[in-house]
Structure 1
Amino acid sequence: MSDTEPCFDVAHLGHVELLTNRPEESLAFFVNVLGLTESGRDGGSVFLRAFDDYEFHTLKLTAADTTGVGHVGYRCASPQALVRRVRAIEALGCGIGWSDGDLGHGPAYRFRDPDGHVFELYYETHRYAAPEGERPALKNIAQRYHGRGVCVRRLDHLNMLAADVGAIRDFMPKALGSRVTEQIVLDDGTVAGCWFTVNNKSYDIAYTRDHTGRQGRFHHVTYAVDQREDVLRAADIFLENGVFIETGPHKHAIQGTFFLYVYEPAGNRVEVANAGARLILAPDWQPVTWTEAERKKGQAWGLKTIESFHTHGTPT
């Protein structure tokens, strides 16, 4: 395979493990306010899902002494694709090794990105089988629409913080076959942000520069809703439940999503965004590069990016 031919060995973002030092309060937020459904428990972890996620879970919430991200899981397109990705990752020298998986999936291969975040790749997955109380009226979705809280539809993307985003930009295409769709390059040539996709979504993970210089920190997880009106409704639900709203609702300049950011009780940032993000159908897509001056203009309609967006990450 040539370096310019798109690689689709990795099918999609599967799940994220979030660490919380306030497990009961965090669980109440994700279930009662955000509207996820519990699908299982194992030790100190609770497995959660949105109603249109087809896998067993998209969020693994784990009780810990700290906060931030435990690991990120991607599902490969086939057993053979998993083997190819493991071979490529081992050649990069960043592999951790195999695990037996967990309640949500079968054997997984773990590795670290250049900033120290832990990832895993798997193929065998446990599809969600809705119990009686969660069976949908229509057979082509995994779970009924219950309308609880924000009632987000599906996992959309993640944002990690990194001390050196340029190193990440070089790494992700080699490790996962990701394509860069948009990026921020400062006047001095520093890569301050980079958005990646493994499929035809405009992005499934983003990395932005950690202004503290630390490594391995987490910026946010995003769950999607259908339309902008759902994001506005979410703002009222967060307000009524005493959830801290950091910024939004508003429209991003980069990627164009309509956004709302809050902190869950342990301090991990959570975004609710409309699911109408762009698709990248061109096989020869060229990254859109934003300059330092363009980013200083703020978001799409002029809202200045709040300072905490550049400084708050977990663990704090």
Structure 2
Amino acid sequence: MSVTHDPDRRRDIAHVGPIELRTAVLEESRDFFVDVMGLREVHRDASSIYLHTWDDYQSWTIRLVRNADAGIGRTYLRAASPQALDRLRIAVKAGKSTSDVPGLGEVHLFEDPDGHEMGLYWDVDWYESDRSDEPALKNQAAKYPGRGANLRRLDHVNYLTANVRETSTFLSETLGARCTEQIVKDDGQPQAIWYSLGNKTYDLVYTEDWTGRSGRLHHVAFATDTREEILRAADVCLDAGVHIETGPHKHAIQQTFFLYVWEPGGNRIEICNAGARLILAPDWRTISWTREERAKGQAWGLKTIDTFHTHGTPVVPVEEDSE
């Protein structure tokens, strides 16, 4: 499947974030993100905890939501302007709106073709540091935490989808995103797609769900400043007893330096350094990878671990998956 992008098309989405992540072990997940990943708790209510990465200009980055099953909740997308919000709201055929999300103004709710919940917004509360995390440089949101993995910001979300082609059409034609890379199956159909909302190499990723189900999550990724911090994060996770699934290593696709771990709720978390590559070409041509090329493994030869293709959240029981 060839993917084209009109360089004259207006970009109405500024960026992805914040997000909601579901977990059955709310406090354990909170301790993972705060104590091991270096985030800061900024708010909580009866069923959720709000956390902030140190250089996110917004008031919170991730909301942990108590839920029987793990997985992704809403993904919030900030419009590029109030006018862009109006255009997007019409384009996605947004349903009801809500003003009940802390730190955000009116949020227009919709679902992607696979049923993942999303919300569009413009108004946002900026993060206000206090005396304990006030930065020395006023052009960053908070001071460098100097603990755990020191996650700087949310980088991307990788969803699982039952229909990659339909989702790809929605991303390009409705949201105005552009496909930077993709994996193509032998029949020419896409198996995984990487879409960019701005100049980052990718923000929204969709991978074919091997179970055929809809609405599940592959992983959420957070960025550090350097590769060295990812190496240190591996040691931090080792000492903390966190399950390290694979890495540190370098992806061939997008050249991301990565470490994959599972947080206590079962959601896969990627710690990455993806900001080194930018898509500056307005007429970027989508890079396609074949199954044969992917079979060679990651950039430096590491073979992809089996669980990378079998684990997603909510978890599908083996007996259901084999039917």
Using the size of structure 2 for normalisation, the TM-score is 0.94
Structure 1 residue 44, shift from structure 2 partner? 1.1
CA displacement, residues 192-221 of structure 1 (integer Å, 9 cap, x when unaligned): 100001111000111111111111000111
Structure 1 residue 42, shift from structure 2 partner? 3.0
Distance of 1:236 and 1:138 partners within structure 2: 29
Is the 8 Å Cα contact of residues 17 and 78 (structure 2) preserved in structure 1?
yes
Structure 1 residue 17, shift from structure 2 partner? 0.2
Match of 1:27 in 2: 30
Match of 2:272 in 1: 273
- Taking the TM superposition and a 5 Å limit, the aligned residue runs for 1:62-73 are 62-73=65-76
Structure 1 residue 277, shift from structure 2 partner? 3.4
Match of 1:37 in 2: 40
Match of 1:198 in 2: 197
Q: Do residues 47 (structure 1) and 41 (structure 2) align? A: no
Match of 1:103 in 2: 102
> What secondary structure, in the 3-state scheme, does the structure 1 residue paired with 2:281 have?
coil
> What secondary structure, in the 3-state scheme, does the structure 1 residue paired with 2:193 have?
strand
> What secondary structure, in the 3-state scheme, does the structure 1 residue paired with 2:255 have?
coil
Is the 8 Å Cα contact of residues 259 and 272 (structure 2) preserved in structure 1?
yes
Match of 1:305 in 2: 304
Paired AA for residue 167 in structure 1: E
Q: Do residues 79 (structure 1) and 82 (structure 2) align? A: yes
User: Greater shift after overlay, 255-264 or 128-137?
Assistant: 128-137
Match of 2:13 in 1: 10
Is the 8 Å Cα contact of residues 7 and 282 (structure 2) preserved in structure 1?
no
Match of 1:172 in 2: 171
- Taking the TM superposition and a 5 Å limit, the aligned residue runs for 1:120-135 are 120-135=119-134
Paired AA for residue 235 in structure 1: A
Moved over 4 A (4+): none
Structure 1 residue 303, shift from structure 2 partner? 0.8
Match of 2:182 in 1: 183
CA displacement, residues 138-170 of structure 1 (integer Å, 9 cap, x when unaligned): 111110112121111111111000111111111
> What secondary structure, in the 3-state scheme, does the structure 2 residue paired with 1:132 have?
coil
CA displacement, residues 68-127 of structure 1 (integer Å, 9 cap, x when unaligned): 01110110111100000011111xxxx332111411211111111111101111000010
> What secondary structure, in the 3-state scheme, does the structure 1 residue paired with 2:254 have?
coil
Go from structure 1 to structure 2 and tell me whether the alpha carbon gap of 1:101 and 1:200 turns closer, same or farther (over 3 Å shift): farther
Is the 8 Å Cα contact of residues 26 and 48 (structure 2) preserved in structure 1?
no
> What secondary structure, in the 3-state scheme, does the structure 2 residue paired with 1:31 have?
helix
Instruction: Give unpaired runs (5+ residues) of structure 2.
Output: 316-323
Structure 1 residue 274, shift from structure 2 partner? 1.3
Paired AA for residue 206 in structure 2: Y
Is the 8 Å Cα contact of residues 40 and 103 (structure 1) preserved in structure 2?
no
Distance of 1:53 and 1:142 partners within structure 2: 6
Match of 1:209 in 2: 208
Match of 1:59 in 2: 62
Distance of 2:42 and 2:193 partners within structure 1: 33
Q: Do residues 255 (structure 1) and 258 (structure 2) align? A: no
Structure 1 residue 4, shift from structure 2 partner? 5.2
Instruction: Give unpaired runs (5+ residues) of structure 1.
Output: none
Is the 8 Å Cα contact of residues 51 and 142 (structure 1) preserved in structure 2?
yes
Paired AA for residue 193 in structure 2: C
Distance of 2:111 and 2:276 partners within structure 1: 28
Structure 1 residue 38, shift from structure 2 partner? 1.1
Distance of 1:126 and 1:24 partners within structure 2: 25
> What secondary structure, in the 3-state scheme, does the structure 1 residue paired with 2:38 have?
coil
Is the 8 Å Cα contact of residues 182 and 288 (structure 1) preserved in structure 2?
yes
Is the 8 Å Cα contact of residues 165 and 193 (structure 1) preserved in structure 2?
yes
User: Greater shift after overlay, 186-195 or 96-105?
Assistant: 96-105
Structure 1 residue 275, shift from structure 2 partner? 4.1
Q: RMSD over aligned Cα, in angstroms?
A: 1.2
> What secondary structure, in the 3-state scheme, does the structure 2 residue paired with 1:158 have?
strand
Identical amino acids, percent of aligned pairs: 53
